[in-house]
Chains A and B, each alone.
Chain A
Amino acid sequence: MSHDMSENLPEAHDASHGTEVVTHDDPFADPGLPAHEPRRTDIDERAAKRAERQVSLMFVVSMLATVGFIASYAAIDADKLVYIFPLGKVSALNFALGMTLGVALFCIGAGAVHWARTLMSDHELPAERHPIEASDEVRNDVIEQFKTGAAESGFGRRKMIRNTLIGSMALVPLSGVVLLRDLGPLPEDKLLHTGWAEAKPSEPIRLVNMNTDQPMKPEDIIQGSLTFAKPHGLEEDAEDFQQQIAKDALMLVRIAPENIKDANSRDKGFEGILAYSKICTHVGCPISLYEQQTHHALCPCHQSTFDLADGARVIFGPAGHPLPQLKITTDEQGFLVATGDFDEPVGPSYWERKR
């Protein structure tokens, strides 16, 4: 700033109110540190003795509690439950260990604080502060020393050394960056496909009920129900099960075809059975709350709500686009199958995802 601000600031604190007792007639002047008022324990030796006993008692209680802790550890079974009012049934061992440890620690603290408050001197003492800033003399001396050092190094004068040093220092961290490359694979089109991509019209993949692990026929899906499904062949003990199910999980609903508002969505379904991705398009939680009267599905994480009767359109919440729908039909034995992948990526949207 071009102008001096100091005139706008009030006078320094000490200019008007010094530490020394001011006797002139400023009624607001600093009267100085108040005189020390003795505590009961300062003047009454019996009170002091009592405080001493109290402190010691707390330390003794702490010792007993530690003994109790060790005894509890040795004596109480890890799976024993006890009823403690008002907590209800709790782990006896956890309760005993926690309370004894708590008492043992708390009593040390309480004893020490009580000791400090009753028996240690409580005279308030002033200590001087010194400005953090160095004096001009020191400052100039340091700057001079630095200049001397810098000149002796020739850093400013020998430009070639300086520039190559800067260059090498700038390059050397690159090795560290390069080493990070193998933290993970490139995204490529990994997020674009799911396990359903292996389904072809000639080789459809059956939808398997998540709970029963059985393929399903259309009559297994009753109106108003919500059924979770996975592709046939994806087993729970598979090495990459978690990774696959994070994309393949389906939720099946059956809505009377005349109630399905979106014709395209109806066509992708089979006799009113619609197969939507279970993974929320917001940040990827599995959607699991279904309101059968309204056909709304709600994600319990951030409450994005999708109208499953209307192509899983987002009707509330932070999700940005509808749930992808998997086209389903039945195979010759009458089981529900998929004949291809979702026609858009499932789960949260990302930069490379085409809209």
Chain B
Amino acid sequence: MSTASGTNSGASKPASTRAKPANKAEATADWVDGRLGIYSLAKANLRKIFPDHWSFMLGEICLYSFVIIILTGVYLTMFFKPSMAETVYHGSYLPLNGIRMSEAYASTVDISFEIRGGLLIRQIHHWAALVFVAAMFVHMMRVFFTGAFRKPREINWLFGFLLLCLGFFDGFFGYSLPDDLLSGTGIRFMEGAILAVPLVGTYIQMFLFGGEFPGTDIIPRFFTIHVLLIPGIMLGLLVAHLILVFYHKHTQWAGPGKSEKNVVGMPLMPVYMAKAGGFFFLVFGIIAAMSAIATINPVWAYGPYRPDQVSTDAQPDWYMGFAEGLIRFMPGWEISVWGGHTLNLGVFIPLMLFPLVLVAIAVYPFIESWVTGDKREHHILDRPRNAPVRTALGAAWISLYLVLLVGGGNDLFATHLHMSINTITYMVRVGFFVVPVITFFVAKRWCLGLQRRDKDKVLHGRESGIIKRLPHGEFVEVHAALSQDDLHTLTSHEQPEPLELPAETDENGVARKAGVVAKTRTKLSEGFYGEGNQIAKPTSEEYLEITSGHGHH
């Protein structure tokens, strides 16, 4: 701390004239500080406090798998040939001997069989990509269900959301690159979806593919998008995301000694440098071991892409499964508009629903803050049960996602569960509308039940498991009172009141009508916090009355 204050006074002099450094390391640090100002930077961050909770490491998994993807991806570019030029395979994988294929496919097979360790790196790259998107999902759910997206973190929520979407697409472009039968089918699907866009579909298709499908441009173009364009944007967003995490300071759970005005935890140096730094190696180690024992995307088994061939069980990587579900459960509506033009709703509607499903979750923080009218900063996390409507909405969204995932894998469900694929598809069509609604109500009820239990625990203590026999023969279970730590933790959450419509007449008696927007907002607010949508938390009066009553029992 004292050295930092010296920065200012020493700024006018060369770094070497600073009072004698104790050793070589300090001298080096002085030299760097004289050029980069590292002491001021480190002063704020070296002992920065981070709170501890297992769920806070989910974002770290995203970060580390992203780093792993970059490292392995750079290696793969040394050997991969993003070209659709035709070649005949004569490598060491005999089943493909003499088969015509693109350079892209041939080089992927070579990476897998000729380059020592190439298969491992390819598999680490692909596994890490799956882990990356999965971790982003879970991380986002953590942020959603605990309300960590509230002010001041809404913009960081959007950065994270963009990272998730870009992760989706970069994953799609990545698994399209090997030009194998499965990924080629995926590109064909994308082409068909683009063609369904009214007015400009065929133009976009021709410009993207450089002509008719498949042409010879799409793999090189996807390569540039996959290795440069999207990762570049993602890297920028990621850095911004992390800067904001540092700047806002991490959220924390309610608990003794924790408030909206502080953050309680352990310092970056040394604890989090060791824990978070070590965690990188844990994630990398586990993904490397996964890649040693579990095959992923065995392109050599699929064969090279040909537009007139296909395999069954064609599935995208899991995160695109919900888009696949949308396209599969949609009825084949095709209508004629504007003098015989074709509007392929059967493909176009899913194409529009795809971003809508995602955007619904992206805009939620803004909807919630509008409904609640809450403009304050929030750094204490909500327990999901204490925000029943938010939790129920999130659960409904997840259930919708899962229904679509089932729809996307309807062929696998049919063959593995011996069910009719038609039945599954009809069920998904109904489920798309019904399941989220049911899930919403079940989840909300569940939250309210948990709120009641918390209230019960606070007022009557925890069940101790000790059975006591009273003098007159009655058996009762002894309830142990909670510690003040627990009492505080269980009662410190806020319970907002629903908004009310402004009075019909203002103070001068002039009629003032509430608009549709204000009415909607009041209704929504009622739905969030109105009667029956939260259980009033115990008050200290209630507590004192009950606990003093106990003495006379």
Using a CB–CB distance below 8 Å, which chain A residues touch chain B? 1-3, 5, 8-10, 12-14, 17-19, 25-34, 73, 78-79, 84, 87, 90-91, 93-99, 101-113, 115-117, 120-129, 131-132, 180, 183-187, 190-191, 210, 228, 230, 236-237, 242-243, 245-247, 249, 278-279, 282-286, 288-289, 300-304, 314, 316-321, 347-355
Which stretch in B5-13, B206-214, B387-395, B460-468 binds the other chain? B206-214
Q: Is A289's CB under 8 angstroms from B120's CB?
A: no
Distance between Cα atoms of A30 and B255 in the complex (Å)? 8
Residues of A within 8 A of B331 (CB): 318
Neighbour of A1 across the interface among B257, B291, B373, B376, CB < 8 A:
B373
Interface residues of chain B, those whose CB is within 8 Å of chain A, are: 48-49, 52, 86, 92, 100, 113-117, 119-120, 123-124, 152, 185, 188-189, 191-193, 195-203, 205-215, 217, 247-249, 256-267, 270-271, 274-275, 277-293, 305-314, 327-334, 336, 340-347, 372-374, 376-377, 379-380, 410-411, 421-422, 425, 458, 484-485, 487-488, 491-492, 494-500, 502, 512, 518, 521, 540, 543-544, 547
Known: A17-B259, A17-B488, A349-B342. A186 touches B203 (CB 8 A): yes
Bound: A17/B308 CA distance, A: 69
A-B contact pairs, 21 of them (CB 8 A): A13-B380, A14-B259, A27-B547, A28-B492, A31-B256, A94-B119, A95-B292, A99-B289, A104-B285, A105-B282, A105-B285, A112-B274, A125-B49, A126-B258, A246-B188, A282-B346, A303-B328, A318-B330, A318-B331, A352-B342, A355-B336
Contact yes or no, A30 B271, CB < 8 A: no
Question: With A283-B191, A318-B331, A350-B201 given, is the CB distance from A34 to B488 under 8 Å?
Answer: no
User: In the bound complex, do residue A122 and residue B487 qualify as a contact, i.e. CB atoms below 8 Å apart?
Assistant: no
Name the residue of chain A whose CB is nearest to the CB of B305: A242
Q: In the complex, which residues of chain B have a beta carbon less than 8 angstroms from the beta carbon of A27?
A: 484, 487, 540, 543-544, 547
By a CB distance below 8 angstroms, the chain A residues around B279 are 109, 113
- When the two chains form the complex, which single residue of A301, A303, A320 contacts B421, counting CB atoms closer than 8 Å? A303
B491 contacts A113, C-beta separation under 8 Å: no
Most central of A128, A190, A288, A348 by chain B CB within 10 Å? A348
Q: Which residues of B contact A107 (CB under 8 A)?
A: 281, 285
Given contacts A285-B189, A350-B344, contact A111 B278 (CB under 8 A): yes
B494 touches A13 (CB 8 A): yes
Q: Looking at the complex, which one of A95, A243, A282 makes contact with B332 (CB distance below 8 Å)? A: A282
B373 contacts across to A, CB distance below 8 A: 1, 5, 8-9
Residue from A107, A300, A304 having most chain B Cβ neighbours under 10 A: A300
CB distance from B90 to the nearest CB of A (A): 15
Q: In the docked arrangement, what's the CA distance between A285 and B327, Å?
A: 13
Q: Given A124-B265, A242-B214, A303-B411, A79–B495 Cβ distance below 8 Å?
A: no
Shortest beta-carbon distance, B514 to chain A, in Å? Answer: 9
The reply to whether A19 and B261 contact each other, CB–CB distance below 8 Å, is yes
Contact assessment for A112 and B411 in the assembled complex, using a CB-CB cutoff below 8 Å: no
Q: Assess the A127–B214 pair: CB atoms within 8 A.
A: no
**Provided the pairs A28-B540, A180-B207 are in contact, do residues A73 and B260 lie with their beta carbons within 8 angstroms?**
no
Please give 20 more A-B residue pairs, beta carbons under 8 A apart, in addition to A28-B540, A303-B421.
A1-B518, A28-B488, A31-B256, A34-B257, A97-B292, A102-B285, A106-B289, A110-B282, A113-B275, A113-B282, A129-B379, A183-B210, A185-B206, A246-B188, A282-B192, A301-B189, A314-B332, A320-B333, A350-B201, A351-B342
Check A109 against B249 for contact (C-beta < 8 Å).
no
Quick one: given A13-B492, A320-B333, are A283 and B278 in contact (CB under 8 Å)? Answer: no
- A1 vs B258: C-alpha distance in the bound complex, in angstroms? 33
Q: Which residue of B lies closest to A112 (CB)?
A: B278
Give the chain A neighbours of B120 by CB distance below 8 A: 94, 97-98, 101
Bound form: Cα–Cα A112–B272 in Å = 10
Q: Is the beta-carbon distance between B92 and A14 smaller than 8 angstroms?
A: no
Which B-chain residue is minimally distant from A190 (CB atoms)? Answer: B212
Give A186 to B311 CA distance when docked, in angstroms.
32
Using Cβ atoms and an 8 Å threshold, which residues of chain B touch A106?
281-282, 284-286, 289
Measured between alpha carbons, how far is A132 from B52 in the docked complex, in Å? 22
Distance in angstroms between the alpha carbons of A190 and B210 in the assembled complex: 13
Partner of B289, one of A102, A112, A283: A102
Q: B113–A34 contact, CB under 8 A?
A: no
User: Please, which residue of chain A has its CB at the minimum distance from the CB of B515?
Assistant: A2
- On whether the beta carbons of A19 and B257 are closer than 8 Å, the reply is yes
A302 touches B327 (CB 8 A): yes
Q: Contacts of B328 on A, CB cut-off 8 Å? A: 302-303, 317-318
Residues of A within 8 A of B188 (CB): 246, 283-285
The answer to whether A350 and B195 have CB atoms under 8 Å apart is yes
- CA gap between A101 and B278 in the complex, in Å: 15
**With A and B bound together, what is the CA distance between A96 and B117 in angstroms?**
10
Q: How far is A116 from B119 in the complex, measured between Cα atoms in Å?
A: 35
Chain B residues whose C-beta falls within 8 Å of the C-beta of A187 in the assembled complex: 202-203, 205-206
Contact in complex: B284, A353 (CB < 8 Å) = no
Interchain CB contact under 8 A, B192 and A98: no
Find chain A residues with CB under 8 A from B100 CB.
236-237
B202 in complex: contacting residue of A108, A285, A300, A352, CB < 8 Å: A352
Give the residue of B292, B410, B547 whose beta carbon is less than 8 angstroms from that of A98: B292
Q: Which of A3, A183, A354 contacts B208 (CB 8 A)?
A: A183
Closest to A250 in B: B308
Whether B198 contacts A347 by the Cβ 8 Å rule is: no
* Residues of B contacting A5 in the complex (Cβ-Cβ under 8 angstroms): 373-374, 499
A2-B502, A120-B270 known; A33 vs B264 contact (CB < 8 Å): yes
A300 and B211 in contact, given A2-B502, A102-B292, A354-B340 (Cβ under 8 angstroms)? no
B192 adjacent to A112 (CB under 8 Å): no
A18, A282, A347: most-surrounded residue (chain B CB, <10 A)? A282
- By beta carbon, the residue of chain B nearest A30 is B488
User: In the assembled complex, how far is the CB of residue A309 from the closest CB belonging to chain B, in whole angstroms?
Assistant: 19
Name the contact of B274 in the complex, choosing from A1, A12, A120, A124 (C-beta under 8 A): A120
Candidate in B259, B263, B270, B422 with the most chain A CB atoms within 10 angstroms? B259
- Known A-B contacts A301-B189, A355-B342; A131 and B377 likewise in contact (beta carbons under 8 Å): yes
